[in-house]
Structure 1
Amino acid sequence: MTETEAGDSAEHDHLATAGTVEAIHIASESGEPVEPVERVEAVAETGLRGDRYFDEGGTFSDGTPRGITLIEAEAIEAAETDYGVDVSDGRHRRNVTTRGVALNHHVGEEFTVGDAVCRGVELCEPCSYLEGLTEDGVARSLVHRGGLRATIVESGTLAVGDTVEPR
C-alpha cells in the first residue's frame, strides 16, 4: 500500500465513524407526528427530554431504556433512490439524523453526540409499526440501515450541527 493509499484509507475510516447532527426530532406522545427541534437535553439512562420515551410513553416502552435513536441521512436518501420511499423530515421516527457517520459501526461502542455520551445498543431495524405510520415499503427500504438504538451514558445537550464521534 502506498503512503497516499494509507492516508486515504485512514481518512475513509475517520469518515465512517465521525459525522454531524443534521436534524433532531421528538414526539411527545406515542404515534404522534415527530417535531423538529434545534437542540434537546439528553438525560443519562432516561432519554431525550420531551420525547415519548423519556417518560416511557412510547409504543415500545417495556422497561428497556430507549435513550436515543439515530439514523443516517445517507440511508434516508437511499430509501428514496432505491425504493421510492420518502422518510425525510422525521418520518423515519428516529430522534437524530446524522451525516457522514456509519452508525452500524457503533453497536457496543461509546460515542459522543454534542455534549452527551452514548453507547450503541443495537441496530434499529424497521418494523411493521413504522410502516403503518408511514407508507408501504418503508420496512424493506430500511433493512440494515434503519439506524441505531443507543443508551445515554452521560447527560448533555445536543444540537443540529454538533459532532458525532467515537469516544
Structure 2
Amino acid sequence: MMEGADSPVDSASGTVTSLVTAPTAGADPVRKDRVAIVAGGVAGDRYCVDEDVGGEGGHFALDACAVTLVAAEALAAVQDATGIDVSDGRHRRNIVVRGFGEGMDALLDATVAIGDARVRPTRRRPPCAHVEQLAGEEGLASALSGRGGLCCTVLEPGAVGVGDPVRIVEPDPGTAGEAIAARLREAADDDT
C-alpha cells in the first residue's frame, strides 16, 4: 500500500493524558496540568539543563534525553499484567500519550507536535532498576521492558497541557523516502 497524505503514519494522532516532572533526583513525581518545554527539556524537571527554569541536568549530558514520552496503552498493559498502577507518575516519564500504541513506533525519528512544542523521538528509553526503588514496586522495571517510552530532543519549545493533541508533523525520513519511492514507482507504472 502506498503511503501518502492519508496513510496511517501521516494522519496518526493522539492526546496528552498526563504530565509529570520531578524537581530533583529521587524526588516524588509531580503531576502537572501544563508544562513548558524549553530547549533544555521540561521546565522544572530534574533533567532539564536550563537552570533558569529549574532542573539539575542529571543524565542529560550523557544521554541527551531532554523529554521522555510513554504510552498510556503501555502503562495500562503493565497494570493489566502485574497489577502495578503507575498512573500517578511513578513511571518517571514526562509526557503520557494515548493513541500511538504501546511502543509508539510511528513516532520514532518523526517530527512530533505536542501542544505548542515540537520534539523528535530519537530512541527507546528503557527503564532502569532504580525505578523500582523509587516507585516501591518490585518487578516494575521488567514490566516496563519494551514499554519504557521514548527519548526526545526538543526542536521547538512550547507549552504542553493535558488534553493537548499529539500529531506527527513529518514522518521519519525513512518512511518519507519509502512513500516517495512508492509514488515514483506508481507513476512509472501508470506511464507504461
Quickly name the TM-score band, shorter chain normalised: 0.7 to 0.9
Question: Is contact 2:60–2:66 with CA below 8 Å preserved after alignment?
Answer: no
Partner of 1:148: 150
Matches within 5 A, 1:91-102: 91-102=90-101
Computing the radius of gyration from Cα coordinates, the structure with the larger value is 2
Measure, in 1, the Cα distance between the counterparts of 2:131 and 2:155. 26
- Aligned counterpart, 1:81: 80
Mapping of residues 107-146 of structure 1, within 5 Å: 107-134=108-135, 135-146=137-148
Structure 1 residues 140 and 16, CA, compared in 2 at 3 Å: closer, same or farther? farther
1:23 to 18, 27, 30: 18
The share of aligned pairs that are identical, in percent, is 37
Aligned counterpart, 2:29: 34
Deviates more, 1:92-101 or 1:15-24: 15-24
Match of 2:180 in 1: none
The alignment covers a number of residue pairs equal to 158
Q: Tell me: CA distance 1:146–1:15, structure 2 relative to 1, closer, same or farther (3 Å).
A: farther
34, 43, 61: which one pairs with 2:38?
43
1:3 aligned partner: none
Separation in structure 2 between the aligned mates of residue 15 and residue 89 of structure 1, nearest angstrom: 31
Q: Is the 8 A contact 1:15 1:100 kept in 2?
A: no
Q: Choose which of 36, 46, 49 in structure 2 pairs with 1:52.
A: 46
Is there any run of 5+ residues in structure 2 with no aligned partner, and where? 50-54, 170-192
Choose between structure 1 and 2: higher helix proportion: 2
Partners of 1:58 and 1:88 lie apart in 2 by 25
Q: Could you tell me which amino acid in structure 1 is paired with residue 43 of structure 2?
A: R
Contact 1:21 1:98 in 2 (8 A): yes
Offset of 1:148 from its aligned partner?
A: 0.8
What TM-score, normalized by structure 2, do the two folds share? 0.75
Over 3 Å off, 4+ runs:
14-17, 61-64
Distance 1:16 1:70 in 2: 19
Q: Matched residues in 1 for 2:38 and 2:32: separation?
A: 16
* Cα offset, 1:63, TM superposition: 4.4
Structure 1: 5+ residue runs without aligned partners? 1-5
- In structure 2, relative to structure 1, the CA distance for the partners of 1:34 and 1:136 (3 Å cut) is same
Q: 2:20 is matched by which residue type in structure 1?
A: H
Q: What is the SS of the residue equivalent to 2:16?
A: strand
Q: Normalization by structure 1: what TM-score?
A: 0.85
Q: Deviations over 1:80-120 (max 9, x none)?
A: 11122222110100011111123232121111100101001
